[in-house]
Structure 1
């Protein structure tokens, strides 16, 4: 069965805004602008055909539909987190699926990813090439490394040496993404191997 689900970024924006009852505070948590949160919530409301928030001056209040939806969204997030944790192999806390644009130099990337593996041994990495914004939007990869700047609502594009790292808004402070960004920029210094 195919499930017609709203985009995950829109659901995350809604959940954070509902928890804080503030687009501004939700934006701070997700490391985006309040306008981006507002846009994601508006897109979600349009997709659902239901108003989730009553917008007042400097304040948002959940509608009754919003309150009902929030409870189910939180329940779904908990179920997803639990199911994900149960699938992880021993010693691995997460899997980072990286999409790489067709023309991007993979040999140089593999060296940087070796550094990432040493600094984050609990994170398994899967590389997919070619992959681009379409695969990211469809949820087939977690982040994309692209040669050219590509902007899309709900996604963050950050410059790298020779390219750009594109990922969902709200993952900027994720430790795995922070370490990946540092490795790709060459900012991670590895400890020399001990010679004992």
Structure 2
């Protein structure tokens, strides 16, 4: 999934792609501490400068003004946005549609929108589509835990998830950027991988069990 692919997808979602002038009576004007991007008269989202917490849990993008050479990271302020497809906490969240709509709507504001950290975003989206657990650390290392219920599965770094006793999960070979969790890589180290999974899981509010090898 690259940005050109996103822009070439089918027609925009029902909220529309044209940015309407911001309604001066909208209370969100005063609350939004960044860019208020309006898709229609009653559909808007607020983009605010990113920080450590928003980068981990919100929809974030790169933003550059047409008359500026500087690109900054902005994230959706969900408290001041009413478009569910851009709110990561909503069941209606859709990364592709949100980014596509923001791209077109922001053009009328002389803003350029691009994907923030594309490889990591792609890994998270694909992992979640497979019903896996996406875990990332503070230093941008990440692992996707995929379901692996094979009877002959003896990988020591595979784990169970508390509250999900029906499956065993193993680090994916594709949507993972740490070599020590990939048995096919030279730097593979199952003990180091398991320690990383414990640390990343605690940072992402996921409670790991064990596969009885640790």
Query: When the two structures are superposed, what TM-score results if normalisation uses the length of structure 2?
Result: 0.21
Normalized per residue, which structure has more helix?
1
> Which has the greater radius of gyration?
2
